[in-house]
Amino acid sequence: MSESHREQLMNVARSSPAAVAVKDRDAWMSIFAHYNIVEDPVGSRPHVSGVFDGREGRRGQGPLQRFYDTFIAPNEIQFRVAQDIVVGQTVCRELVIELGMNDKVKAEVPMHAFYQMVQEGGEHKVCRLAAHWELVPMILQVMGKGLGGMMAMLSLGWRMVRIQRLRGILGFCLGFRGIHGRGKELVTDFSRAVETKNSAWLNSIFHSERSEIHFPTLDESPGQAVQIHHPAKFLVDRDVSIATSSMISAGYCISCVIDVQCDEERHHGIGLFEFNARSRRLDRVKLYWDRGV
């Protein structure tokens, strides 16, 4: 991957917290492609823009604007970034969101954010933002602030009624569903099965033999940035160990920090483990780390 390609994508990702910090809605919306999806948190109903919007009666950015007005505009938000990774057209960020909901209520929310980009008008734009964070711990943290926390949640609820309406509220509440602790256990099992080279155990964790494990490659082409393995052959194709930490459950996904030993190289990055909601087994594993420039 070239230095210029990486820096172009990183500049787009950095533009999001920069616009949020100064409350510039137009600047924040400008980083997104015409057709875009915001999943924040992952597991809630996605906000999809660029398709027909019944609220506005046209194709446009109405859902994106309503998301900003509901969840970003009223709050003071700062980003503490621990690591940034670029693989192909995706920027991955490990960070903590410092959320100020009013003068007395502040919360810290660990997050793994994935910015997927496309070329539009000669520029890189975000076509999908997936923010992985845990909804229940955030709400409990705010409610633990006493009366101030209760008032902050009531204020959020009223904004959602006014801006998102009933469908939006129900869509947000879908974020309470997911794989939760069971998913974290299976990610740990995945790591142990890889460490012990136990192919039968590894296969039993996955939904099907066509499930996928994605590895970054050294190819400079964004379209060839990952190599795909299937569980049955993974331990044959790769001499690898994968340690996981800082797990976050969002919807039917577990994201985490990873430390990988592979082909006599060590890598530090972010892992994304996607589950089949029906079988509650792994369907796709995506591993992200920088392969150098």
pLDDT of residue 293: 47
Q: Token pair 């009013």 is at which residue?
A: 102
Residue 65 identity? Q
**What is the distance between the alpha carbons of residues 49 and 30, in angstroms, rounded to a whole number?**
13
For 284, what's the count of Cα atoms within 13 Å in the CB-facing half-sphere?
A: 9
7-48: per-residue pLDDT in tens?
999 999 999 999 999 999 999 999 999 999 999 999 999 999
**Window from 200-209, 218-227, 234-243, 245-254 with minimum mean pLDDT:** 218-227
Q: How far apart are CA 271 and CA 286, in angstroms?
A: 6
Distance CA 102, CA 99 (A): 9
Q: What is the mean pLDDT of residues 147-161?
A: 94
Q: Which residues contact 176 (CB under 8 A, 6 or more apart)?
A: 43, 135, 136
Q: What value does the mean pLDDT take over residues 119-148?
A: 96
Q: Identify the bridge partners of residue 178 per DSSP, sorted by sequence position.
A: 251
- Sequence-distant (6+) residues with CB within 8 A of 113 are 92, 93, 95, 129, 130, 131, 132
Give the Cβ contact number of residue 16 at 10 Å. 21
Give residue-wise pLDDT tens across range 262-275. Answer: 878 899 999 999 99
pLDDT, one tens digit per residue, over 71-125 is 999 999 999 999 999 999 999 999 999 999 988 899 999 999 999 999 999 999 9
Burial of 29 (0-12, 13-18, 19+ CB in 10 A): middle
Burial environment of residue 207 by CB neighbours within 10 A (0 to 12, 13 to 18, 19 or more): middle
Query: Which domains, ranges and CATH numbers included, belong to the chain?
Result: 3-176 (3.10.450.50), 180-288 (3.10.450.50)
Distance of alpha carbon 212 from alpha carbon 210, whole angstroms: 6
Q: How many CA atoms lie within 13 A of 103 on its CB side?
A: 0
- Looking at residue 44, the DSSP 8-state letter turns out to be B
- Cβ-contact 244, 191 below 8 angstroms: yes
